[in-house]
Amino acid sequence: MGEDLSNLKVSSESSIILDEKSFALRSLPSRGTSRQYPESGPWSRTHYVPPQEERIEVSVDSKGRGIFEEVADGDSTALSNLITNWPAVVLSIDNKGNTALHGAVVSACRKVDWDENLYQCIDLLMSCEHMNVNMPNENGYTAIGLAVHELHKTCVEYMLKRPSAHRLYLDYYPGDSESTVREIIELKYPELRLPPRLMESLDSSESDKKLLAALQHDEYDIFIKTLDSNNPNPWYDEPYHSSLLEIACQMKNRLKFARRLLDNVADPNITNSVTGMPLLHAAARSGNIELLEMLLKDERIKLNVEDSEKRTILHWWARVNERNPDDNNRLKRCFELIVEKEFDINRSFNDKDSSGNTPFSIAVDRGDRDRVILMLDTEHDETLHDLIIEVLDSASQSLLEAILDYCFDSNDEPTNSKELKVTFKDKILIYMMTIAVISHHNNLLKHPTMSIFVNFIWKKVKIFFFLNVAIYFTFLLSLNAYILFSEYCNMQNDRGIANNSNSLLNRDDNNVTCGMNYERRYNILQGLWYPLMIILGLLSVRELGQLILYRKEYIISNENWLELLLIAVTFTSCSGIVESIEGNRHLFAIAILLGWFELVLLLGRLPILSVQTEMFKRVSLTSLKFMAGYIVLILGFAFSFYILFEENAEVGDAVLFTNPLSSILKTIVMFAGEFEFSNLPFGTLPGTSHVIFLLFVFFVAIVLLNLLQGLAVGDTRKVREEAETLSLLARVRLVSYILIMSDTLPNFINRLIFRDDEEEFFIFPNKMKNIGSTELRFLQRIISEKSERNKKGKRTEQVEYWKLFAEKQSTLQLQCEEMQQMLKKILTHLHISEP
């Protein structure tokens, strides 16, 4: 077992079993290929083998001990022997792509105290020439990257002070970090001394290394001359573990190098064979927004590719940080390019990564107003409405207000010009209106953009509200007229001859004679019945349409159930289904009460009446909640009064407390102050009746009643303080309701009523008299800010345009020089002197 295996050659796909320790030596695939190992065990992964001479990967079964066991135990002596006698063992990789050095660093980071043995293991592994100290695992972390990720300063400092620290590659992006390992260390631990950057030599005899050196030293001329069209994107093993195009796309100020590689037929859709990171994602992670924009312009690019965490390019676009002043404009252009491509924007908006985040939720969590607005303003499937509302509901108030600040555009006119036109982004504002209805976001209603937009829409849609009120009021008048006239007819019949008919609308009852005016009353009643049934049918159709449109929201609304009950009671009482006149009178009374109660709620949607209606609702709800807690006390006194005053308390012809039900009703009335003290027979059970009655007066009439009044006063005061918000809330709810209903109307009606030319919501603020000075100043300020930002963006675009022009000109000049050199060689070869 002491035999040196460093020179051992093993054929591909071979396996050798050595003595009782059962060391399994598995040869890896050849240059630049991948191999799928079994689904279980330490080989259950697709492992990439960089181009170099065939190597051996060694693992140990349960009967032996391998390098990972030695590292986990911190047995530096055994590890040293294993490395000395079996150098190939350092190439072992577990099923997550971790090397033995990864395992040693993880074990050291988990230790709170200093463990000399573990750090000796790290030193041994870093010093081992066979160890790929810069091999990333499947999450993109090298060993030093893991230590930095864990913010374990002791481990980082120890690794940087080793003599072999010069081998460490610090200029790569670990995991999902948007900073290199070097940048993170310089930021977190500025006192630590870092090794120099690893760079290839420009004098290298190998063309691939010379090409990389030209990229690293920013020598574009040498790069072009060295580039081989037969190998447009060479792979580099230790320490880079990346292709040339990947390195170029993650370095700063290397746009022209990457463009040259792409022009040289390098594939823009490559993924890193070790980490699985697509090139597009890697460019976004490194913050090279300009280069990302260039990749997105490539016609060959595929946007639906995902990384190991199931993230699309939209996920990375939403999370990347802006580092340069012009990055915001570049990110906007990148988003436009993504949308323009053959890309399922609806699916990608709804795509969740392995952590359950969507691109939209990432942008909201980061509080990035501009990217949130871009995604909100994109045409996408309406099925995402609920998802967007749910995400925005969890957004901060400041982000929502920032979104509202930029929910409109303007023309190029000065802010004080009469021709200044402000166009609202109505789709975003409708989203925001829905969010504003949620209780903890009610303050958004006071935002100038929201108030201007809501008032503007209200002017457009109020005709529908008043039309609805008119129809309902006509129904209510018809219902009351029919019921009251029916009662009048019944009274006339009772005063005349006995009427055995159960309905005045029964034409076939020839035995009914009601005097000279019967036919006239019958015709009037019929004239009231037919319009009532027609309007009742219209209301039923309206409720059915609302149920189809709103579904769950319709079902959970108490007012909708009130309307359905009103329709059912009206139809039952007025259609002759109930034959009993007494039963009809019960239904008539309920129908009239429900009808007028519904009118109160309907008119309460008007902003001018919303405060009073809200007071009524809130005080009623508070009283019901209050009474629910003390109903048992009311029942206790009611049953006590029944026992005390049964059959003895009389007021005129009425006998009080004659049964438990009447006792409960009377006790509730007494709670309001109607005691009728002089009519109660305290002499029946003297003493006990006096004490119980006094207790009732104290606990119920004094304590509970005054407490209830105090709660009502508190609710009223709170409603008055929120009067402005409640008024706006009522208008927003009404506008939202009508806008949703408008979607069912024909297009020509919708365009005629709701929208002006080009289906836009726009106003001329300097021409309108109903815009307050505060709102007008707000609009002018935001328009000025946006105008300044657009000017800066245009200046940046011009600079970038001339920069690109200069690069192309330089490339053409270089190509001309190459052509001249070639012509000179041809002329020299043909022995022709230059002219």
Measured distance CA(208)–CA(372) in Å, rounded: 43
Measured distance CA(66)–CA(598) in Å, rounded: 80
Measured distance CA(338)–CA(327) in Å, rounded: 16
Confidence at residue 217, expressed as pLDDT on a 0 to 100 scale: 92
Measured distance CA(780)–CA(785) in Å, rounded: 9
Place of tokens 């990457």: 258
Q: Is 17 helix (H, G, I), strand (E, B) or coil?
A: strand
Lowest mean pLDDT: which of 112-116, 344-348, 403-407, 687-691? 344-348
Confidence at residue 340, expressed as pLDDT on a 0 to 100 scale: 82
Place of tokens 């691109």: 359
Instruction: Report residue 79: phi and psi, to 5°.
Output: -65, -40
List, as one string, the DSSP characters of 477-543.
HHHHHHHHHHHHHHHHHHHSS----S-TT-TT-TT----TTHHHHHHHHHHHHHHHHHHHHHHHHHH
Lowest mean pLDDT: which of 80-89, 460-469, 767-776? 767-776
Confidence at residue 789, expressed as pLDDT on a 0 to 100 scale: 63
What tokens were used for 499?
Answer: 């009427």
The enclosing H or E element of 60 equals strand 56-60
C-beta separation of 441 from 396 below 8 A: no
Lowest mean pLDDT: which of 299-308, 643-652, 658-667? 643-652
Give the list of residues 6+ apart from residue 480 with CB closer than 8 angstroms, or none: 592, 595
At 468-499, the pLDDT tens digits run 889 999 999 999 988 888 877 776 666 554 44
Measured distance CA(637)–CA(397) in Å, rounded: 50
What tokens were used for 34?
Answer: 């991948």
Measured distance CA(185)–CA(152) in Å, rounded: 11
Which residue(s) pair with 242 in the sheet? Answer: 236
Residue type, 671: F
Rounded alpha-carbon distances, angstroms, from residue 552 to 435, 725, 744 = 17, 26, 18
Give the list of residues 6+ apart from residue 605 with CB closer than 8 angstroms, or none: 465, 613, 730, 733, 734
What tokens were used for 252?
Answer: 């700063």
- Tell whether the model's pLDDT for residue 42 goes beyond 50: no
- Tell whether the model's pLDDT for residue 172 goes beyond 80: yes
Lowest mean pLDDT: which of 8-12, 189-193, 259-263? 8-12
Q: What is the mean pLDDT of the chain?
A: 76
Measured distance CA(234)–CA(167) in Å, rounded: 21
Measured distance CA(382)–CA(414) in Å, rounded: 36
Instruction: Report residue 27: phi and psi, to 5°.
Output: -80, 150
What tokens were used for 665?
Answer: 């009703």
Give the list of residues 6+ apart from residue 438 with CB closer than 8 angstroms, or none: 393
Confidence at residue 170, expressed as pLDDT on a 0 to 100 scale: 93
Task: Band the pLDDT of 183: cuts 50, 70, 90.
Answer: very high
For residue 423, give the nearest of 435, 433, 431, 412 by alpha carbon.
412
Name the packing angle between helices 518-550 and 558-574 (round to 10°): 150
Phi-psi group of 381: left, alpha or beta (phi > 0 → left; psi -120 to 50 → alpha; rest → beta): beta
Task: Band the pLDDT of 185: cuts 50, 70, 90.
Answer: very high
The enclosing H or E element of 24 equals strand 23-27
Cβ atoms within 10 Å of 781's Cβ, excluding its own: 13
Measured distance CA(400)–CA(388) in Å, rounded: 13
What tokens were used for 609?
Answer: 């009446």
At 350-389, the pLDDT tens digits run 788 888 888 888 988 888 888 888 888 876 666 677 778 8
Measured distance CA(89)–CA(24) in Å, rounded: 10
Q: In this prediction, what percent of the chain has a pLDDT beyond 90?
A: 14
Confidence at residue 48, expressed as pLDDT on a 0 to 100 scale: 35
Q: In this prediction, what percent of the chain has a pLDDT beyond 70?
A: 75
Residue type, 180: T
Rounded alpha-carbon distances, angstroms, from residue 377 to 359, 380, 388, 760 = 14, 9, 12, 14
Task: Band the pLDDT of 181: cuts 50, 70, 90.
Answer: very high
Strands 408-410 and 422-424: antiparallel
Residue type, 102: H
Measured distance CA(691)–CA(696) in Å, rounded: 9
Measured distance CA(100)–CA(78) in Å, rounded: 14
Confidence at residue 816, expressed as pLDDT on a 0 to 100 scale: 75
What tokens were used for 44?
Answer: 């259950």
Confidence at residue 438, expressed as pLDDT on a 0 to 100 scale: 75
The runs of H, that is alpha helices, within 646-704 are 660-671, 688-696
Measured distance CA(794)–CA(807) in Å, rounded: 20
Residues listed for the chain: 835
Lowest mean pLDDT: which of 48-57, 447-456, 777-786? 48-57
Confidence at residue 22, expressed as pLDDT on a 0 to 100 scale: 30
Extract the runs of DSSP E, i.e. beta strands, from 349-443: 408-410, 422-424
What tokens were used for 741?
Answer: 């209903």
Residue type, 223: F
C-beta separation of 47 from 93 below 8 A: yes
For residue 387, give the nearest of 336, 417, 344, 352 by alpha carbon.
352
What tokens were used for 794?
Answer: 């245009």
C-beta separation of 613 from 731 below 8 A: no
Place of tokens 């929502």: 400
Measured distance CA(797)–CA(793) in Å, rounded: 6
Average pLDDT over residues 38-48: 33
What tokens were used for 293?
Answer: 């924009």
Rounded alpha-carbon distances, angstroms, from residue 14 to 57, 87, 805 = 11, 19, 56
At 397-426, the pLDDT tens digits run 888 888 888 788 788 777 777 888 888 887
At 662-692, the pLDDT tens digits run 888 888 888 776 666 666 777 777 788 888 8
